[in-house]
Amino acid sequence: MGDTPVIGSGTYANNKTCAISCTGHGEIFLRAVAAYDVSALMEYKGYSLHQAMEEVVNKKLLAMDGEGGMIGVDAQGNSALVFNSDGMYRGFRNSEGVNEVQIYR
């Protein structure tokens, strides 16, 4: 079993807030309910997508010795790619023609 297929931990979507997909130390993402936590911070504390992802990835997960990251899109179509490891395979493309594909910082 991995963290990615577990709703709330490795993946989560809410029409009001965001859609999130995670990768990293699965057990930590499970305990942190990482993907859902991003949505909850946006809904209950008014965080932006990037603020919420930074809070979860670079504070909550690191405090639990968790390494990894996430890709997210908010309800307005903004995207964020946040990770606390040396690298993370990641990419996105939006309707305005912006493309991004990267591995390292």
Query: What pLDDT shows up at residue 55?
Result: 98
- Cα torsion through 59, 66, 86, 48, rounded to 10: -40
Q: Is residue 4 part of a domain?
A: no
Tell me which of 77 and 2 has the higher pLDDT. 77
Q: Is residue 3 part of a domain?
A: no
Q: Is residue 17 part of a domain?
A: yes
Q: Is residue 1 part of a domain?
A: no
Q: What is the CATH number of the domain that holds 19?
A: 3.60.20.30
Whether the predicted pLDDT of 15 surpasses 60: yes
Whether the predicted pLDDT of 1 surpasses 50: no
Q: How many CA atoms within 13 Å lie on the side-chain side of 90?
A: 22
Which 8-state DSSP code applies to residue 7? B
Complete edge-to-edge strand list for the sheet that includes strand 68-74: 11-13, 18-24, 68-74, 79-83
Where residue 26 falls among pLDDT bands split at 50, 70, 90? Answer: confident
Q: What is the pLDDT of residues 33-63, one digit of tens each?
A: 999 999 999 999 999 999 999 999 999 999 9
| Phi, psi angles (nearest 5°) of residue 93 | -145, 135
Q: Number of folded domains in the chain?
A: 1
What domain range includes position 25?
Answer: 11-104
Query: What pLDDT shows up at residue 3?
Result: 52
CB 103 within 8 A of CB 89: yes
Query: What pLDDT shows up at residue 9?
Result: 86
Q: What is the pLDDT of residues 64-88, one digit of tens each?
A: 999 999 999 999 999 999 999 999 9
